[in-house]
Amino acid sequence: MVGRADVIVVGGGSAGAVMAARLSEHAGTHVVLIEAGQDTPPGTVPADIADTFPTSFFNSDYFWNNQTGAMRQGEPQRPFLQPKVMGGGSSVMGMISLRGLPTDYERWEAMGAKGWGWSDVEPAYRALTNDLDSDSREQNQPGPYVVRRVPRHVWPRYMLGIEAAAGKRGLPSVADVYSTTGDGFFPLPMAHDDTRSTTARCYLDAAVRARPNLSIIAGAQVERVLLHGARVAGVSVSRGGISETISARQVVVSAGAINSPALLQRSGVGDAVQLRRIGVEPLIDRPAVGRNYQNHVMLHFALTLEPHSRLRPDQRHYVMTGIRASSGLEGCPGGDLFIFMIGRVAPKAFGTGMGMVAVALNQPLARGSVMIASADAGVAPIVEQAHLSVAEDRERMLIATRLAEGMILDPGVRECYREAYLLPREAPLRLINGTGLVGAAKALGAAGVLGAPAAIRKAILGRALAPGRVVADRTTHRPLADDEILAACGTMFHPSGTCRMGAPGNAETVVDPECRFVGVEGLRVVDASVMPCLPSANTNLPTIMIAERAAEMMRRRLSRG
């Protein structure tokens, strides 16, 4: 293992792979990238990661096997999916690639993230993206990250029905969501061409990996960041049961919004009172580390589709179209609701027999926390999500779900399906799919159920999906109660905010607007944890944008020596 570096990047995910690639462009800087999961070099990318359907999402090899989280206050901890593979979330997520709204970044600036307004971040989005649907004459040099939209002629018929139903509700059709800040129905930009776009694929290509000043260490967990007083000295790394030290004058923590604060806390950086309680010697007292946790709230409807309304069997698309809407609730921003449509639910043949309509809250107000339970890196941190703990969040999820329910009941949509179900809050892809013998058994069972007579299908799905239930079929509707809707609300796996960016003098700030940790020289945090609040977008593309801008800030300083 490498003994010394100029810069160590901890985590090879959506941010870390970008940081390593961009920082190593400075030939005089030796960069070491450390990833706890497996590497996916060019030519060896697993088929389930390359797939344009998110098959990798239900492969447990790509996730931490002990991470849990409490969905709501007072609930027990339960399994909580966090990626552990090169490319991080970009290697396992649903591939939606939204940027958020200008007002999101105005809020960031208002919360102390000076220089992160829309006029600052929008050029970075343009520069990092290779948008295959935009006119090449309107682009400068295409960026590394490939996005595209599924063309209209491929959409399953039920999505065209949703589009028409949205139009009746004042939500116009928009060809390019990047070009508008308003509400509407649109094809979603997706992170793939013929294969999935990951930061491992798009940033750590063969040419980057061949740089003599870049070292990549996979299958190794950083146990602690080492400090010498208030200055970074390196990291302690464990691989194969052996712990070693790598020295460095700069460390970039890009381990994600759960593992980044946990790593800092294990290193003695965080709330001194809480650290002492679990036997960790506090070195830097920064109580804000691990606070301000946010995540998008989500629920799903499933539609058992009529044959004429399904995605073509040769198409492997998952999410395809979306709706941005506004709750109109006093004090809540516009565009705070998100609905998106799914074309297939499994990579197997039966997967096109069902579609899904997902409902999400773009701008939740609730705040949770992340706190380690032990100094042992093998013990997962405690995640308290506190979903729906704020009345406005509950009300807005009801508004969004009623909007979706109304569109599902529209005659043009209703003729496309046999039944519509509200799903339980567990991740539906994990509910329906699996790997190995379990996956084969689920596929066989699902194919049989979807092809069964109505009475048998309803009975089996009713038991399998409990506490979810049938909401409607072609002739009947069983309205949802508020409590049923709220009970079905789960999470989008977009943790953020736990190392919040802001003004250095603010007690809630963890990193300054250059992502430098306040109070520790040479330490930066660069990932979704620095977001002051969630953007109106899935967090992968905003996280890549953050890494691009943070890397440029670092490179300017490195160039000055």
Residue 431 pLDDT more than 70?
yes
**3-state DSSP of 10-75:** ECCCCCHHHHHHHHCCCCCCCEEEEECCECCCCCCCCHHHHCCCCHHHHCHHHECCCCEEECCCCC
Which tokens hold the place of 416? 């496309």
Place of tokens 């989005």: 125
Residue 79: closest CA among 383, 498, 527, 528: 383
Q: Average pLDDT for residues 381-404, to the nearest whole number?
A: 97
Residue 140 pLDDT more than 60?
no
Residue 448: closest CA among 309, 350, 316: 350
Sign of the Cα torsion 169, 175, 181, 185 reads positive
Query: Is pLDDT larger for residue 531 or for residue 2?
Result: 531
Q: What are the tens digits of pLDDT across the range 200-220? A: 999 999 999 999 999 999 999
- Tell me the three state secondary structure of residue 324: strand
CATH of 7-64+84-101+196-290+494-559, one of 3.30.390.50, 3.50.50.60, 1.10.10.10, 3.10.290.10: 3.50.50.60
Least-confidence region, from 326-330, 453-457, 525-529 = 453-457
Q: What are the tens digits of pLDDT across the range 117-129? A: 999 999 999 999 9
User: Where are the domains positioned within the chain?
Assistant: 7-64+84-101+196-290+494-559, 151-187+308-360+389-488
Residue 454 pLDDT more than 90?
no
Q: 253 has which bridge partners? A: 10, 525
The answer to whether the beta carbons of residues 159 and 178 sit under 8 Å apart is no
Spatial distance between the Cα atoms of 11 and 39, rounded to a whole number of angstroms? 11
Amino acid at 104: D
Element holding 559 (H helix, E strand): helix 540-559
Q: What are the tens digits of pLDDT across the range 28-85? A: 999 999 999 999 999 999 999 999 999 999 999 999 999 999 999 889 998 999 999 9
Spatial distance between the Cα atoms of 430 and 439, rounded to a whole number of angstroms? 10
Spatial distance between the Cα atoms of 516 and 400, rounded to a whole number of angstroms? 38
pLDDT winner (highest mean) among 1-10, 363-372, 448-457: 363-372
Task: Quote the pLDDT of residue 43.
Answer: 96
The answer to whether the beta carbons of residues 535 and 101 sit under 8 Å apart is yes
Q: Average pLDDT for residues 279-306, to the nearest whole number?
A: 96
Task: Quote the pLDDT of residue 438.
Answer: 59
pTM: 0.96
The answer to whether the beta carbons of residues 71 and 78 sit under 8 Å apart is yes
DSSP state for residue 305 in the 8-state scheme: E
Task: Quote the pLDDT of residue 436.
Answer: 66
Spatial distance between the Cα atoms of 530 and 534, rounded to a whole number of angstroms? 10
Task: Quote the pLDDT of residue 457.
Answer: 83
CATH topology of domain 151-187+308-360+389-488: Cholesterol Oxidase; domain 2 (3.30.410)
Query: Residue 307 CA to chain centroid, in angstroms?
Result: 32
Sign of the Cα torsion 536, 538, 540, 541 reads negative
Q: In terms of DSSP bridges, do strands 7-10 and 31-35 run parallel, antiparallel, or are they unpaired?
A: parallel
Task: Quote the pLDDT of residue 450.
Answer: 77
Share of residues in the chain with pLDDT > 90 (%) = 86
- Identical fold for domains 7-64+84-101+196-290+494-559 and 151-187+308-360+389-488, yes or no, is no
Q: What are the tens digits of pLDDT across the range 143-173? A: 999 999 999 999 999 999 999 999 999 999 9
The set of residues, in sequence order, having a beta carbon less than 8 Å from that of 210 and lying 6+ positions away, is none
Spatial distance between the Cα atoms of 424 and 466, rounded to a whole number of angstroms? 7
DSSP state for residue 148 in the 8-state scheme: B
Sign of the Cα torsion 502, 503, 507, 511 reads positive
Element holding 458 (H helix, E strand): helix 454-464
Task: Quote the pLDDT of residue 480.
Answer: 95
Q: Average pLDDT for residues 227-232, to the nearest whole number?
A: 96
